[in-house]
Structure 1
């Protein structure tokens, strides 16, 4: 995971530089979870100022179940997981309503009492939760925790909301790239299967001096009799003839 420097004093709103950073993260991340981890670290570093270190996490809602999928550090992950354990809190409320939730002072907060008491014991004084609009792909929320009361100003809220909008756009791109990679992998698997079957048919035609249609019939009958997949029968045919044990071929990368 890359290090994103913490500003010495103050911070500015989302910029073209931030958007470029997020796009680079999409291209360099191994998967969605890796991207979200980088996002949490970046969010924490951009929000943190001298005397007010921010911890950030990302929670995703899948099949009505909340999961803490990424965090800038251990405290942020613990706080996200704790809230998910209680099943309610400011971050889950933001996630469910699709609206920003700010808790400026946990000691004065009367909602979500069990979680608030637990979070206060962990040194949390204020919380900011901003939902990420993923356009139906999933529901997610960017959570920020401060050890100071009124740890988030109005400018901070605007900054985080703008940052979250850019992050959501990049995350949709990451989801799209993941989907394209899955399609590529499926296509590669299909091409591998077709290659193996074609090789087996050629071997059967040569051995039996028969037509391709006849070879197809032989292969299908063998598959039915043995109750195994056609590709597996084809692979067995080739291995029996050539002694090959690795059928990965050029499409097995």
Structure 2
């Protein structure tokens, strides 16, 4: 990074809807959430960069109350996000926790977060912009921008960054909900499969031992506990034994 003072920009201000990034396309083409966030960081970095002022962009999320750098436009952005997370303080983390945009135009003139800012300046950072992603409680994330120039972000840049964050948040909420529905469906499918196997095993034990369902279930659970094997696995072994393969058998002493 180089420390210049307010370089001239060849940008025409905030992106219009016609030039806005194709977030819907990103959603469709991204393999997963991290891939989507990486593409977001690259697009945001490209949109805000200008001759003499390369902008590095990263995304930090809060997981189990701990910040984690999950995506970046480049290695420099990744390192800068991780640096701030290591200090546990800084403009990006403050923006994340307060859920509000935060601009530090000149790190040398900023009195907050001094231990972190001193180190950031040693890494060539002169100004920082952080814009949180409104994920409606599904998660917490912030889009971070780093410039090697003091006053490296104009008011138009802030508006553009907020536009990026707003559009990306809408797409990301959709991805998160699709992921949650998919996981719930998979969990339900697994639970139904487990229940089917257990029911089949109970039926086999009932037939073999000429007992009622409750007794058969108790036999199965006691065997699971005694052998320290999951109930579904015991049930699967019982079912396997029906075909004559080696197993614990369906006749289990009470």
Same fold (TM over 0.5): yes
State the TM bucket, normalised to the shorter chain: 0.7 to 0.9
How far off is 1:186 after superposition? 0.6
Shift in alpha-carbon separation, 1:244–1:194, aligned structure 2, 3 A = farther
Q: Deviations over 1:168-214 (max 9, x none)?
A: 111111111111011111111022213323443565566x396xx73
Instruction: Structure 2: give runs of 5+ residues left out of the alignment.
Output: 1-8, 247-254
In the alignment, which residue of structure 2 is the partner of 1:218?
216
SS in structure 2 of the partner of residue 61 of structure 1: strand
Q: Deviations over 1:99-129 (max 9, x none)?
A: 2111222232232211111111111121111
In the alignment, which residue of structure 1 is the partner of 2:48?
47
In the alignment, which residue of structure 1 is the partner of 2:93?
92
SS in structure 2 of the partner of residue 10 of structure 1: coil
How far off is 1:29 after superposition? 3.2
Aligned mates of 1:144, 1:244 — CA distance in 2: 62
Shift in alpha-carbon separation, 1:242–1:9, aligned structure 2, 3 A = farther
How far off is 1:242 after superposition? 2.6
In the alignment, which residue of structure 2 is the partner of 1:192?
193
SS in structure 1 of the partner of residue 136 of structure 2: coil
Following TM superposition, where does structure 1 have runs of at least 4 consecutive aligned residues deviating by more than 4 angstroms?
201-206
Aligned mates of 1:126, 1:60 — CA distance in 2: 21
Tell me which protein shows more helix as a share of its residues: 1
* Aligned counterparts, 1:69-218, within 5 A: 69-201=70-202, 203-204=204-205, 208=208, 214=212, 217-218=215-216
Number of residues of Structure 1 aligned to a counterpart in Structure 2: 234
Whether the 8 Å CA contact 2:197–2:232 is kept in 1: the answer is yes
Aligned mates of 2:32, 2:40 — CA distance in 1: 12
Instruction: Structure 1: give runs of 5+ residues left out of the alignment.
Output: 1-7, 246-253
Whether the 8 Å CA contact 1:220–1:230 is kept in 2: the answer is no
Aligned mates of 1:129, 1:60 — CA distance in 2: 13
Aligned mates of 2:128, 2:239 — CA distance in 1: 63
SS in structure 2 of the partner of residue 221 of structure 1: helix
Whether the 8 Å CA contact 1:134–1:172 is kept in 2: the answer is yes
Whether the 8 Å CA contact 1:31–1:178 is kept in 2: the answer is no
How far off is 1:35 after superposition? 2.4
Normalising by structure 1, we get a TM-score of 0.81
How far off is 1:153 after superposition? 0.9
How far off is 1:241 after superposition? 2.6
